[in-house]
Structure formats: structure tokens, C-alpha cells
Amino acid sequence: MRRACLALLLTGAHLLAQTGEARVRVKFRALSFDGPILGAAYLDGKDVRPLDLSADCFTAEQTYVGPNPLRLVLRDDAVPAPAAPVVRPGEARMATLAQELESVQRRLSTLTADARERGGQAQAGATSEIAQLKARSQSLNAELTQLAQASAQAAEAPPTPAPKNDPAPKTRPAAGGVVPAPTAQPKPARPAHRPLAAFTFPGDGRLLLLVHRTDQGTTINAIDDREGAFPFGSMQFINLTGGPVEVRFGAKTLSLAPKGKGTLRPGGGNNTYAEGEIHTRAEDGQMRLGYSMRIFQQDDVRTLYFLLPVEDGGHGVRLKGIEERRVDEPVPPSVGGAGEKPSTPAR
């Protein structure tokens, strides 16, 4: 009997070694960094599990027990055919003006922040530049308003009615008054899918997955989401500025190297405001104010911040934040508990 059991164990080990398939048990949620990815899914054995990725919030938590790596795919049946683009008058001009307005406002914000840091005294020549930027901002806003009104008037034109579909022809009874049975339709084929990305888990655990689509392909980065690693009531910063960054909230300072990440909890209590600053290295090598923030601290909310560079190459910072609120699972009521009458026994 022992020899038979040993033989079975050796046979199972041999088969496992032949497959070479590592299996993991992971709980994960996912987010698209650049924009929504409709029709996304992941392979769970032979099943395709939908996982539409948003850029504003994480997906519901998924429990994955299967081979490593995890494979993300795009479901062909979930991707709608692209609609014909609607060309609005002045659309290209509006896009150009909006881009220029963003650059003007960003430069204006940098100069005013630098002036505040100097105690209200702007650098030499900065006062005239601030005035020119304000005037240009007003001019751009006025022209954008005119173009938007013209585009809205063009959009009020009545749409072309869609052609009506002809009703299906009625089936006439065959000779003898017998209606022929309907022809059996073939079962639809399983939806096809295309590979999107793959990610090898470091092991069992709980993770937040960040899906990033680039011209070179799609990559996945992971954030440890174990208990206590990114608690509610805290903020996690990921430095994508390309240079060193300091996040300051009062006496608390979080220093981040390029591509580094860290978690910080402001010193204020629950339901209070906290003032913070983000400093980056300027051209002169000094750490300069790049962003000021004021947050409302809540113990049941955690926020993931991506620190991004400004387009003009200055030492300012752009922020992309993803907020998540804790949702407690409902506790089922106990029979005969406080406030609940016990069931009456049957007679």
C-alpha cells in the first residue's frame, strides 16, 4: 500500500514538472493610466473574464487563482465599430487655442507661485510678463467662447433620420396547412480576443495593477496593497517627473527619487484640511515650489497621486489623483439579537 501511494506521488510530481506551470492566488484591482480601455479582460483558464479598465477608478477586486503570468486580452466582440467623425466649424482652431491657453495659465501659475515664495516680490521682468500673460489669457478665453457658440449653433441642425427596417416576411403555411418548423440556428462562436499584456506576479498577495499603453506596447506596474502598505487615510505618491521630488505636509517630508513612490499621512485629524507643497529641483539646483495643494483629510479615503512634469520644461508639477473610499461589507443581522424579535415557534 505504501509503495502504491509513493508511486502515485512520484507520478504527480513528474507530471507537474512536465507542465512547468506556476500557479498563484492573488487578489487585484486594476486601473488604466492613460485612458479607458473598453473590452479588456483577463484569461481565467478557458474563460475570459471582463475587466473594463477606467482611468478614474479601480476595478472591483478580482480573485485570480491560476497560472503565472496573468494575461490581459481585448475582446473583439466588445469593441464597437468606430463612428464617422463629426467635423465642427473651428474645431481645429479651438484645439490650438486651448493648448496655448493651458500653456499660458501654467506659466502664469509658475510665476505667481515663485512670487509668493519670495514674499510677494517677483523676479526682475516677471511683473511685465505676468501682465502680458493675463492679457493673453483673456484674449484666448474670448475667442474660445465665440468659437464654442458657433459650434453649438451648427450642432443644433436636425439629424438625418435613420432608415426604417422592413419587417421580416411572414412564413406561409405549406401545403396541407402545416407550418414548417424553423431552421435550427448554429450556436454563436466564443468571442475572439487579442493579447493586450502579461504580468508575472511576484507571489501570492494583494496588488493594485496600473496598465500603461504606449507606442511600444502595453506594460503593467504593480503597487503592494497588503494590509497596512497603503492604508486608508493616507496618500501614495508616484514620482514620474524625471527628477527628485519632496512632498511636504508641515513637519512631514517625503523625498522621492525619479520613478520612486512612497506613502504619507498628513498630521491633521479626520475631517480636517491639510496644506501641502511639492518641491522639485530647478535649473539652479535648488529645490523650488512646484505645486501647492490643500486636501480634506478623511480616515476612510486614500488617494493615489501621479506626479507628472509640466510640458514647458519648468520645475512645476502636474498631479493626477485617483481617490478611493473604503466600503465596509454589511454585517448580516443575528436572529434574536438586540432590536430584533426572535421567531415564534410553531405550535
> Of 2, 84, 72, 7, whose CA–CA distance to 37 is shortest?
72
Question: The domain that contains 249 carries what CATH number?
Answer: 2.60.40
The count of domains in the chain is 3
247-268 b/e (C-beta count within 10 Å ≥ 16 → b)? bbbeeeebebeeeebebbbbee
The DSSP annotation for 327-339 comes to -PPPPPPPTT-TT
Any domain includes 316: yes
For residue 65, the model assigns a pLDDT of 94
Per the structure block, which three cell numbers stand in for 136?
493673453
Per the structure block, which three cell numbers stand in for 131?
501682465
Please indicate, yes or no, whether residues 272 and 145 belong to a single structural domain of this protein: no
Any domain includes 247: yes
Any domain includes 116: yes
Please indicate, yes or no, whether residues 239 and 317 belong to a single structural domain of this protein: yes
Expressed in percent and rounded to 5, the helix, strand and coil fractions of the chain are 20, 35, 45
Please indicate, yes or no, whether residues 270 and 298 belong to a single structural domain of this protein: yes
> Of 266, 244, 242, whose CA–CA distance to 253 is shortest?
266
Please indicate, yes or no, whether residues 99 and 56 belong to a single structural domain of this protein: no
Please indicate, yes or no, whether residues 208 and 280 belong to a single structural domain of this protein: no
Any domain includes 115: yes
Please indicate, yes or no, whether residues 75 and 95 belong to a single structural domain of this protein: no
For residue 3, the model assigns a pLDDT of 46
Q: How many CB atoms lie within 10 A of CB 224?
A: 14
Please indicate, yes or no, whether residues 312 and 237 belong to a single structural domain of this protein: yes
Please indicate, yes or no, whether residues 108 and 242 belong to a single structural domain of this protein: no
User: What values do phi and psi take at 157, rounded to 5?
Assistant: -60, 140
> Of 175, 236, 195, whose CA–CA distance to 73 is shortest?
195
Any domain includes 266: yes
For residue 12, the model assigns a pLDDT of 40
For residue 120, the model assigns a pLDDT of 67
Burial zone of 161 (CB within 10 Å; 0-12 exposed, 13-18 middle, 19+ buried): exposed
Domain carrying residue 237: 230-325
Please indicate, yes or no, whether residues 50 and 197 belong to a single structural domain of this protein: yes
For residue 187, the model assigns a pLDDT of 63
Q: Residue 309, SS3?
A: strand
Give the Cα separation of 342 and 92 in Å (integer): 70
Please indicate, yes or no, whether residues 61 and 198 belong to a single structural domain of this protein: yes
Any domain includes 143: yes
Are 41 and 191 spatial neighbours (Cβ–Cβ below 8 Å)? Answer: no
Please indicate, yes or no, whether residues 251 and 216 belong to a single structural domain of this protein: no
Strands 245-249 and 252-256: antiparallel
Any domain includes 345: no
> Of 322, 328, 326, whose CA–CA distance to 235 is shortest?
322
Q: For each of the chain's 347 residues, which pLDDT tens digit applies?
A: 444 443 433 344 333 333 456 789 999 999 998 889 989 999 998 899 999 899 888 999 999 999 999 999 998 876 555 555 555 667 778 888 888 888 878 787 777 777 777 766 767 667 888 888 888 888 888 887 888 777 777 766 666 665 665 565 555 655 566 656 666 666 666 558 899 999 999 999 999 999 998 778 899 999 999 988 999 999 999 999 989 999 999 999 999 999 999 999 988 888 999 999 999 988 888 899 999 999 999 999 999 999 999 877 778 899 889 998 887 665 555 555 554 545 555 54
Which H or E run includes 31?
Answer: strand 23-32
Q: Residue 68, SS3?
A: coil
Per the structure block, which three cell numbers stand in for 128?
511685465
Any domain includes 17: no
For residue 283, the model assigns a pLDDT of 83
Please indicate, yes or no, whether residues 136 and 283 belong to a single structural domain of this protein: no
For residue 44, the model assigns a pLDDT of 92
Are 32 and 54 spatial neighbours (Cβ–Cβ below 8 Å)? Answer: yes
